[in-house]
């Protein structure tokens, strides 16, 4: 158990630093978050996918598994929302779209080593793409493919896959510069998560508590048959299980606020879900490791 706590401590320590700094100084992270989404994270995605050691075809079962976990979580959460009379588009998206970026990427590296970054990015891309397509459709009942193609992360994904499949190499100084930019992404994600938590309130604690319980439970229930039916073994199976147990993404709150879909309730779901992960994730890591 001490080994598991040693793995998870750096992740939550950086989140805590962001939270404490925000309480004292109240920084405006909007510009930093935008730069992270448009520069640092795309650089990380491209540098990993374009690496000659990364073979996307070897991760196709994991990619499909990630899709099934996201969709399965939503199917399991939907009757819970109906049972308690909550709007499905308020409760279900946070159960589906988890913190695969801010928490999933660093957790995978700390728990499974640098070699786990590639599979973790596959799961991150699955979750992120579904969030900006299916997730947006659930909130506003439409998807704009042109807007999706303008996303820097999707462009970086397509470029990285193209370089990988074609066997192209960037000049080494340029490749190292892109890699260096990508190294900023994960720490900034964690710090920003801590800052974001400072503005969340607990007015709707009932739906938040339900979300904190349902999110990891639905994810793990969806992942259990997937790891048995698909050829996902060893470290990737363990990563998929950890992915399934991750708390709701902060992006759920940001989109709910943008589209006016009960943002206070979604904020409570996100906050309590991430607080509950302090207990849930060590237990899941202990089980898979």
Give the pLDDT confidence score for residue 79 in this predicted structure.
Answer: 96
Q: Does residue 155 lie within any of the structural domains? A: yes
| Residue 260 DSSP code | T
Domains in the chain, number: 1
Q: Does residue 88 lie within any of the structural domains? A: yes
Number of CB atoms found within 10 A of residue 267's CB = 26
Q: What is the pLDDT of residues 52-97, one digit of tens each?
A: 666 777 889 999 999 999 999 999 999 999 999 999 999 999 999 9
Tokens linked to 44: 């990380």
Alpha carbon dihedral 77, 194, 32, 199, in 10-degree steps, equals 80
CA distance 53 to 16: 34
Decide if 178 contacts 2 (C-beta within 8 A): no
Decide if 121 contacts 49 (C-beta within 8 A): yes
What CATH code is carried by the domain that includes residue 283? 1.20.1530.20
Q: Does residue 275 lie within any of the structural domains? A: yes
* Percent of the chain predicted with pLDDT > 90: 31
Please tell me the pTM assigned to this model. 0.81
Q: Does residue 196 lie within any of the structural domains? A: no
Give the pLDDT confidence score for residue 150 in this predicted structure.
Answer: 78
Alpha carbon dihedral 106, 216, 69, 53, in 10-degree steps, equals 20
Whether the pLDDT of residue 155 is over 90: the answer is no
* Burial zone of 280 (CB within 10 Å; 0-12 exposed, 13-18 middle, 19+ buried): buried
| Residue 233 DSSP code | -
Residue 68: domain span: 2-190+201-288
Q: Does residue 250 lie within any of the structural domains? A: yes
Average pLDDT over residues 10-29: 86
Write the CA distances from 242 to 3, 7, 75, 118, integer angstroms. Answer: 16, 13, 19, 15
Decide if 247 contacts 274 (C-beta within 8 A): yes
What are residue 261's phi and psi, to 5 degrees?
A: -105, 80
Q: Does residue 129 lie within any of the structural domains? A: yes
Give the pLDDT confidence score for residue 264 in this predicted structure.
Answer: 77
Q: Does residue 20 lie within any of the structural domains? A: yes
Write the CA distances from 196 to 18, 105, 193, integer angstroms. Answer: 8, 18, 5
Decide if 190 contacts 102 (C-beta within 8 A): yes
Tokens linked to 219: 């994810």
Q: What is the pLDDT of residues 85-138, one digit of tens each?
A: 999 999 999 999 998 887 888 888 888 988 888 899 889 888 988 888 888 888
Whether the pLDDT of residue 235 is over 80: the answer is yes
What are residue 248's phi and psi, to 5 degrees?
A: -60, 145
Give the pLDDT confidence score for residue 242 in this predicted structure.
Answer: 95
In 3-state terms the chain splits into helix, strand, coil percentages (rounded to 5) of 80, 0, 15
Q: What is the pLDDT of residues 183-202, one digit of tens each?
A: 888 788 778 878 877 766 66
| Residue 59 DSSP code | G
Q: Does residue 38 lie within any of the structural domains? A: yes
pLDDT greater at residue 261 or residue 255: 261
């Amino acid at each position: 158990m001490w080994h598991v706590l040693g793995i998870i401590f750096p992740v939550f320590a950086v989140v805590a630093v962001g939270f404490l700094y925000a309480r004292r100084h109240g920084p405006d992270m909007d510009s930093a978050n935008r730069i992270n989404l448009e520069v640092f994270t795309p650089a990380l995605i491209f540098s990993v996918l374009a690496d000659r050691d990364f073979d996307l075809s070897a991760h196709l079962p994991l990619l499909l598994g990630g899709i099934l976990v996201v969709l399965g979580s939503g199917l399991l959460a939907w009757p819970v929302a109906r049972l308690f009379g909550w709007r499905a588009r308020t409760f279900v998206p946070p159960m589906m779209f988890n913190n695969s970026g801010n928490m999933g990427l660093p957790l995978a590296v700390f728990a499974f080593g640098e070699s786990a970054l590639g599979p973790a990015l596959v799961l991150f891309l699955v979750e992120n793409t579904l969030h900006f397509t299916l997730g947006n459709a659930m909130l506003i009942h439409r998807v704009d493919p042109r807007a999706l193609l303008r996303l820097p992360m999707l462009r970086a994904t397509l470029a990285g896959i193209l370089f990988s499949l074609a066997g192209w190499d960037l000049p080494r100084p340029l490749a190292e510069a892109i890699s260096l930019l990508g190294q900023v992404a994960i720490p900034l994600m964690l710090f920003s998560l801590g800052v974001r938590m400072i503005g969340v309130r607990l007015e709707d604690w009932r739906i938040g508590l339900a979300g904190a319980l349902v999110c990891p439970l639905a994810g793990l229930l969806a992942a259990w048959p997937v790891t048995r039916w698909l050829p996902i073994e060893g470290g990737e199976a363990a990563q998929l299980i950890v992915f399934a147990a991750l708390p709701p993404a902060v992006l759920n709150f940001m989109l709910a606020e943008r589209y006016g879909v009960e943002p206070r309730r979604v904020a409570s779901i996100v906050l309590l879900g991430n607080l509950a992960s302090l207990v849930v994730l060590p237990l899941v890591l202990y089980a898979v490791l």
